[in-house]
Structure 1
Amino acid sequence: MSGLMDQALKLYAHLPASERFHVHARASSAPLLAVASRMPSGTVADIGCGHGLLSAVMALAVPERRVLGVDLDERKVHWARQALSGLPNVTLDVGSVEELAKTQPHTLDAVVVCDVLYLLPEAKWPGFLESVRGLLKPGGRFLLKEVEGDRSWKHAKALAQEWVMVSLLGRTKASGGMVLKPRVDGVRLLRDAGFEVREVVGLGEGYTTPHLLYDAEAR
């Protein structure tokens, strides 16, 4: 694991063991460093920030970057605030992308959404993406990290894993989603929401999950 990730994980050392376990599992199972490396400087939002690990990595990597993290899970935001309290360039709040779009319309340089969309019902995806678009300045960057619906064994494993986290353990909140889409559908959804897709990058190598990153720009 890189020095940057190690530095971020140290911020969670004083949290209860159960929370530290969740954060460390997230660090080893998702390509957060690869996602963070594509984020520009300026003011950025981490939608569905959870325990704030990606927010921490982005803040540590570029100290002049301002990171706004929001999540609907009050418990996770509580622990994220405790862990990241020493980072002056991070603000964490309980809330939704729709609420943030009302207070920060067209003010952000970039938005990242990592493993959130597939937890929502498909009917809510267009509105969610339109709210993200409403946060961004013209030409602002949007990084959407999802799990690719490619019908592979990794696809099946990812669904089973999320079922355990959501339904069995209650560690992740879902709103009736758990649907994985192929990349062609993701590109179409982003274009319909007003984004120009710059690149679609597979990040699943070395992981047991078919991670997929859409790198887009607000039109």
Structure 2
Amino acid sequence: MPEAPVPFPSLQPSALPRLIQAVATRYGGASRYTRHYVRAKLLRDPATKAIVTLATELGGFGTVGDLGCGRGQLSLLLLLAGGAEAVLGMDRNGPALLEAQAAARGLPARFTAADLATEPLPDCDTLLLVDVLYQLPPEAQRALLERMATAARRRIVIRAFDPDLGWRSRCGFAMEWLNRAGRGDLRRAAIEPMKLPALRAVLERAGFRVSVTPCWGGMPLPNVLLLAERGSA
């Protein structure tokens, strides 16, 4: 029997563990690594609670474009929580997208292979970009933001890397280096996260009201959650 979405804005924090378990169960046919990753990521990443809480406060995200969606677990959580009406996920990782689509059976979700630097972005109420922007070359970061500002009907939600948070930023750069070393990916250019004033300026010039809140939980990282909503500043 399909999981019943939780009506917004009635979602309570106590419901989140049950919903995470419901999402994890949907990946039962995926690889062992994916099954572990999906559950651990949703449980441990501060972005999970922060984004679901934000959706609750806003009365839902409407239709969502999840850019760089990976295995799609956050999109599916939003759907089961009632925080999204429908989802289109985009990513370059074909095998991950296949696992996401299999896990989304019976839900209004579609996952498609796409290069965010070149493919048209979906016309959605909310565009979601989590831990993707800072991975792009500097010129591509600005270009993607400008395209998102055109495509998003109501809002943009970004979990970004703030390079100006002192020791937190130094920890973030070090962890990124370690992650790349573990993948044997050190030949790729070092990350150059866009500074938050410049990031905000792109969206504010496009007519968005922008707010930024910490999104690192108990971790020594420089992650922040940026919400940009259409309307006069």
Q: TM-score, normalised by structure 1?
A: 0.82
The alignment-based identity, stated in percent, is 23
Aligned partner of 2:223 in structure 1 is 211
Please, which of 90, 100, 104 is the counterpart of residue 70 of structure 1? Answer: 90
Given that residues 200 and 213 in structure 1 are in contact (C-alpha distance below 8 angstroms), is that contact kept between their aligned partners in structure 2?
A: yes
Q: Distance in 1 between matches of 2:214 and 2:197?
A: 13
* 1:159-179, Cα deviation, whole Å (9 max, x unpaired): 233334345326x9x974622
Change (3 A) 1:185 1:65: same
Change (3 A) 1:119 1:63: closer
Please, which of 123, 127, 130 is the counterpart of residue 146 of structure 2? Answer: 130
Q: Distance in 1 between matches of 2:34 and 2:228?
A: 32
Q: Distance in 1 between matches of 2:147 and 2:128?
A: 13
* 1:61-108, Cα deviation, whole Å (9 max, x unpaired): 117610111101212212222222x2421111111344233xx4xx31
Please, which of 185, 191, 196 is the counterpart of residue 198 of structure 2? Answer: 185
Aligned partner of 1:115 in structure 2 is 131
Please, which of 83, 101, 115 is the counterpart of residue 81 of structure 1? Answer: 101
**1:96-111 correspondence to structure 2 within 5 Å:** 96-97=115-116, 98-101=118-121, 104=122, 107-111=123-127
Opposite residue 178 of structure 1, the aligned amino acid is: I
Please, which of 113, 120, 137 is the counterpart of residue 94 of structure 1? Answer: 113
Aligned partner of 2:78 in structure 1 is 58
Pairwise CA distance, 1:151: 4.2
What's the C-alpha RMSD, in Å, of the aligned pairs? 2.6
Given that residues 30 and 211 in structure 1 are in contact (C-alpha distance below 8 angstroms), is that contact kept between their aligned partners in structure 2?
A: no
2:125 match: secondary structure: strand
Opposite residue 89 of structure 1, the aligned amino acid is: P
Aligned partner of 2:164 in structure 1 is 150
More strand per residue: 1 or 2? 1
Change (3 A) 1:8 1:123: same
Opposite residue 167 of structure 2, the aligned amino acid is: W
Q: TM-score, normalised by structure 2?
A: 0.77
Q: Distance in 2 between matches of 1:201 and 1:2?
A: 23
Given that residues 67 and 127 in structure 2 are in contact (C-alpha distance below 8 angstroms), is that contact kept between their aligned partners in structure 1?
A: yes
Change (3 A) 1:17 1:179: same
Stretches of structure 1 that go unaligned for 5 or more consecutive residues are none
Q: Distance in 1 between matches of 2:167 and 2:37?
A: 23
Higher Cα Rg, which structure: 2
Aligned partner of 1:4 in structure 2 is 19
2:164 match: secondary structure: coil
Pairwise CA distance, 1:34: 1.2
1:24 lines up with 2:44 in the alignment: no
Aligned partner of 2:212 in structure 1 is 200
Stretches of structure 2 that go unaligned for 5 or more consecutive residues are 1-15
Given that residues 71 and 94 in structure 1 are in contact (C-alpha distance below 8 angstroms), is that contact kept between their aligned partners in structure 2?
A: yes
